[in-house]
Chain A
Amino acid sequence: MSGQAAEKPKFPTETGCPDGFQYMHPAYIKNYGNWKYHDRPRPGVLHHVSHNGDEVWTVRVGTQRQLGPYEINLLCDIIDTYADGYVRFTIRSNLEVSVTDEAKVAPLIQAFTDAGYPVGGTGNSITMISHTQGWLHCDIPGTDASGVVKSLMDELHDEFTNEQMPNRVHITTSCCQINCGGQGDIAINVQHTKPPKINHDLVANVCERPSVVARCPVAAIRPAIVNGKPSLEVDEKKCICCGACFPPCPPMQINDPEHSKLAIWVGGKHSNARSKPMFHKLVAAGIPNNPPRWTEAADIVKNILRVYKDDAQDWERVGDWIDRIGWPRFFELTELPFTKFHIDNWTGARNSLNASTHIRF
């Protein structure tokens, strides 16, 4: 290592986003922009046909998202042996492995299954949960998304490998209220319930106080002198416990082993299909953040899924379904309590109030 200090630093080559065609399956390149239709011969397999008659079969495989050299080599060995050496990842960390020979599909599926990797996640299934990083790497996490996801996917394994839901189900989890996991048919997100605990000895040295004040969505933070030191104070009556002050000011600890809870939101949807895109809405909160298996949250999610599966029409996403049956019926069917916290009071809240006599009895 001693020689390296003397080495001239190397300027980066700013290549940016690399050209995807160099890594793309040859059948994708040949038929780029020329696909005609697709169908799904079985759960976990997509079959695409191009205008010139070319066909590809794509096997979709669930992963744990964080992969080491063992997993990468194991999966690549399968792809080299049973497929064509090309792979892509979906937005939800599933592998997609394409072959141009239908006869290769069954052995490929068998090889992934034998290696402990589930084939599925297509069509009207519950696909892999999109999630954030949590305690493994994040600087502000209230929980460990990877653990929540592993626990839930263990229980939803059969729904991943089959296509038995009314429409696709996208679940997300997030370890803080910034919600990096994103919108979902069902979202399991951290919800803090107490204001930050401030270490006044550290604020002046660690935090740029005006930017912390500016981050607060409800103007509850103001500069103050505490114990003779410049610090910040929080108007706890105003504070909505969102945690926005914690990233720019770590001495304002928002995470709490007891009071950082989980909340569940439903009905989010990104697609424009049928209805316009929708945000997810709060349905349950106050759920204990209970590692390692988060069983209380998992039970509520499984119950919502059960009711949706029984009651929704074909092709209704969770949000479409609730639009049809109405929120009172949703709370009735899921037996979840409806509380004052479900009634929005943020900007635009009036749009969420019922200004009509449209009421189902």
Chain B
Amino acid sequence: MAEQTPKNPDKHSTYLPTKKTSSKPFHDTPMLDELESGPWPSFVTGLKRLAYDNNMMVDLLGQLEHSYKTRLGYWKGGTVSVFGYGGGIIPRFSEVAEMFPESKEFHTLRVQPPAGNHYTTDMLRQLSNSWNKYGSGLIAFHGQTGNIMFIGTTTEHTQHFFDEINEYGWDLGGAGPCVRTAMSCVGAARCEQSCANEQKIHRLLVNNFIDDMHRPALPYKFKFKVSGCPNDCMNSIQRSDFAVIGTWRDDMKVDQAEVQKYVAEKGRKYIVDSVINKCPTKALSLNDDDTLAVDNRNCVRCMHCLNVMTKALSPGDDKGITLLLGGKRTLKIGDTMGTVIIPFMKLETDEDYEKLQEIAEETIDFWAENALEHERVGETIDRIGLVNFLEGIEIDVDPNMINAPRVSNYVRMDNWDEEANKWKQRKAAN
């Protein structure tokens, strides 16, 4: 890990200013200093640069070193918001303010990025300038929910900063028991696997619940995430309450000439080991002429072969989305993944998009009405059972929702015929 002298030391991640304009002397930070060596860009060097002209960051570094030394955190929450909103800010008050008074208030504003996290350099500079004016200057791109995190300012300046960026088109995200900032992959903007219009889905869903985002009044958090294909780069099945994932239902596209080229280049063994045998439903087979046979009825759109042979294989034309509900991490009942609620729906016409919006509204209404305090929708489903939940949001049962039918016979089924008829009627209607 030998470190080389940078070519342009004043335009390098290790640069430190020669002049100090902050009036407060630096605290000794021997432990943090150790995180300045090594080839990865150092966040500590970044904090130090800010401390050269910012007393708040001088004390912030002091408090952070104190945490490193004592292995404890020293921030407590509180209540801070901007006028008209009830959330979107993470208040932080220091518990060791007598030692580090300049950073006694160090609040974060959560701001919603555009779907897919696209920026012009002009806009990044403008946001950075506004934050430098009213806050510490430190911005995290992005927090785990997907927000731009403007880290570190006083109660008073949260309002001034928000007013300024709100003026040029930026709005706060969610914090607390509310609809949270959503996330989307790069999708149709720069990915051939995308089966959906992530930009449109993302804004349609989240901007429809803007009141539920800014004024937290739900049982707990509710997250939307949009991935354009089953690779699920947004981790939506495990990390969102409402996961919209692009998919297709016709045959995948195969460019057989490209398949043959790929086989010629990589060899048959590689294709068999890395593509054919890795198919989870054994839906692929290599023909004698080095073309690919696909059993599309048994393809589960896992994406593996498309990921390996990007030039030869592509999603089909009949695109739409799969919707899963109820993913979340540990608290309180343990991890849950999303469950399939809509196996496939088209998203083409305005009516299609309205239908998706209605499902989101039904879901949030039912959950808000029936959940316990601090209960995510996945936990509500777990507590009341998927069938009761589906009845609540008026969605019919579908065998795609399960891995396997029930194993236990502890169930009362005296209206079996009625339920069987519902299925027959739905089949007949299709």
Contact = CB atoms under 8 A, between A and B. Distances in A.
Nearest to B57: A68
Contacts of A16: 112, 171, 203, 206-207, 210, 213
B83 A91 contact: no
A182 B237 CA distance: 12
A240 B35 CA distance: 33
Interface in B341-364: none
B238 A182 contact: yes
Nearest to B184: A20
B43 A18 contact: no
Residue from the set B40, B77, B113, B149 with the largest chain A CB neighbour count within 10 Å: B40
A143 B278 CA distance: 39
Given A88-B186, A273-B304, A20 B115 contact: yes
A21 interface: yes
Nearest to A96: B186
Given A313-B273, A315-B278, A272 B231 contact: yes
A139 B314 CA distance: 46
B82 interface: yes
Given A13-B166, A13-B171, A217-B333, A183 B13 contact: no
Contacts of A271: 230-233, 303
Interface in A80-94: 80, 85-91, 93
A157 B40 contact: yes
Interface stretch (B44-52, B287-295, B393-401, B411-419): B44-52
Contacts of B143: 133
A23 interface: yes
A178 B145 CA distance: 13
B8 A115 contact: yes
Given A117-B41, A182-B239, A250 B76 contact: yes
A39 to B, nearest CB: 6
B214 A14 contact: yes
B82 A85 contact: no
Given A28-B189, A292-B68, A91 B235 contact: yes
Contact of B35 (A74, A79, A133, A151): A151
Interface residues of A, number: 121
B314 to A, nearest CB: 7
A136 B238 contact: no
Contacts of A178: 329-331
Interface residues of B, number: 140
A254 B172 CA distance: 31
B326 to A, nearest CB: 13
B397 to A, nearest CB: 20
Given A180-B329, A272-B232, A150 B121 contact: no
A236 B166 CA distance: 49
B119 A19 contact: no
Contacts of A14: 171, 210-211, 214
Contacts of A56: 190
B429 interface: no
Contact of B124 (A70, A72, A155, A313): A72
A133 B194 CA distance: 31
A23 to B, nearest CB: 4
Nearest to A97: B121
A41 interface: no
B307 interface: yes
Nearest to B327: A277
Interface in A252-279: 255, 257, 260, 268, 270-275, 277, 279
A292 B71 contact: no
A270 B335 CA distance: 13
A361 interface: no
Contacts of A72: 124-125, 128, 139
B373 A214 contact: yes
Contacts of A141: 73
Interface in A274-296: 274-275, 277, 279, 289, 291-293
B11 A217 contact: no
Contact of B238 (A18, A117, A183): A183
A138 B307 contact: no
B274 A18 contact: no
A76 B233 contact: no
13 contacts: A38-B192, A66-B43, A68-B50, A68-B138, A69-B129, A73-B128, A93-B142, A116-B41, A117-B13, A135-B68, A135-B73, A154-B38, A183-B235
Interface of A: 9-25, 28-29, 31-33, 35-39, 48, 56, 58, 62-74, 76-77, 79-80, 85-91, 93, 96, 98, 114-118, 130-144, 146-147, 150-151, 153-155, 157, 177-183, 211, 214-215, 217, 242, 244, 250, 255, 257, 260, 268, 270-275, 277, 279, 289, 291-293, 313-315, 346-348
